A = this chain, B = another copy of it.
């Protein structure tokens, strides 16, 4: 012990990894690290992993499934102890990925249809339902919804949104639906389409804050005021949403809790401890700020 102190001996983690078959490395697989929502999540995961003496390897897969498979193979070669996946796949794709690795995978902030993988997320359907009801409450009738083509930010939120409107008795014909990417650019693209509609909706629900910010930008550029001419409600509550103008009314996702819980769950699985449940749906919140108003007509 004295000698250890004296020479400041520190064991070589690579050698330990080889003998223990544990690297204390967690892989985070994400479509794009620089996405604001993911960056916050990654930051949180790193902090929680650090507490448990794990380190974190990140990887951008840039929306390409071949890339994602390659990444899983690399993580396997590197002998990471587990993966936190921030990306959705079809059930078939998911099965392909699971076959590549022999360590646990946890889904964070996303859900995969029919998957048996441990998941930490929110109730997307319920949250979108509440968002839709909020818009109805304000008096909106001609409403648009903008979603992605994936499961959580697409199917699930669209379903909840539609059910919310229906439960208020909104006519399906006065609802228009759009599909695009969860990015500033995606929002702009849809805003362009919406503007060219004959009959402008009085409110638009976006499945992500970044979409909403892009769209609001476009609306403002073209003389459409938010919320005076059009109300905007979105989803995620990234830090930024309180700093743009108008401040976004949005669904708050507990990013910190999701990151922390997903990390804890993965570590439990690595330690082969039993899980009390497979799916953790953390509480969301409807945040009312300045991007919604009553319709003018």
In contact, B18 and A46 (Cβ under 8 angstroms): no
The verdict on A77 contacting chain B, using a C-beta distance below 8 Å, is: yes
Contacts of A94 in B (CB 8 A): none
Indicate if A15 sits at the interface (CB-CB under 8 A).
yes
Tell me the count of chain A residues lying within 8 A, CB to CB, of chain B: 45
- Annotate A206-245 by CB proximity to B: 1 below 8 A, 0 otherwise: 0000000110010010000000000000000001101111
By DSSP majority rule, is chain A's interface helix, strand, loop, or mixed? helix
Residues in B neighbouring A25, C-beta threshold 8 A: 57
Tell me the A residues contacting B by CB distance below 8 Å. Answer: 10-15, 17-18, 23, 25, 32-34, 36, 39-40, 42-43, 46-47, 50, 55-60, 62, 73-74, 76-79, 184, 213-214, 217, 220, 239-240, 242-245
Complex: chain B residue closest to A10, CB-CB = B77
Chain B residue nearest to A37 (CB atoms) is B34
A76 contacts B33, C-beta separation under 8 Å = no
- In the complex, residue of chain B having the shortest beta-carbon distance to the beta carbon of A59: B46
Q: Quick check: A55 and B74 within 8 Å, CB to CB?
A: yes
A47 to B32, CA, bound (A): 10
Please give me the residue from chain B that is nearest to A18 by CB atom: B14
- Contact A39-B33, Cβ < 8 Å, known A10-B76, A245-B245: yes
Partner of A14, one of B17, B57, B184, B214: B17
- Cβ–Cβ < 8 Å partners of A42 in chain B: 33-34, 58
Residues of B within 8 A of A220 (CB): 245
> Which residues of chain B come closer than 8 Å to A36, judged between CB atoms?
34, 36, 39
Identical copies in the complex: 2
- For A245, list chain B residues within 8 Å (CB): 217, 220, 244-245
Q: Please, could you name 20 A-B residue pairs with CB atoms under 8 Å apart, sorted by A?
A: A12-B79, A13-B79, A14-B17, A15-B18, A32-B43, A33-B39, A33-B46, A34-B40, A34-B239, A36-B36, A39-B39, A50-B59, A50-B60, A55-B59, A55-B74, A55-B78, A57-B57, A58-B58, A243-B244, A245-B245
User: A47 contacts B34, CB within 8 Å?
Assistant: no
Across-interface contacts of A76 in B (CB, < 8 A): 10
In the assembled complex, the CB of A208 is this many whole angstroms from the nearest CB of chain B, namely: 13
Q: Are B184 and A77 in contact, with the CB atoms below 8 A?
A: no
CA distance A43 to B32 in the complex (A): 7
Taking the closest CB of chain B, its distance from the CB of A249, in whole angstroms, is: 16
Extra 13 A-B pairs, beta carbons < 8 Å, given A33-B42, A55-B78: A11-B77, A12-B18, A12-B77, A13-B79, A18-B18, A32-B43, A33-B43, A46-B59, A47-B62, A56-B57, A56-B59, A58-B58, A244-B244
Give the docked Cα–Cα distance between A25 and B27 (Å).
13
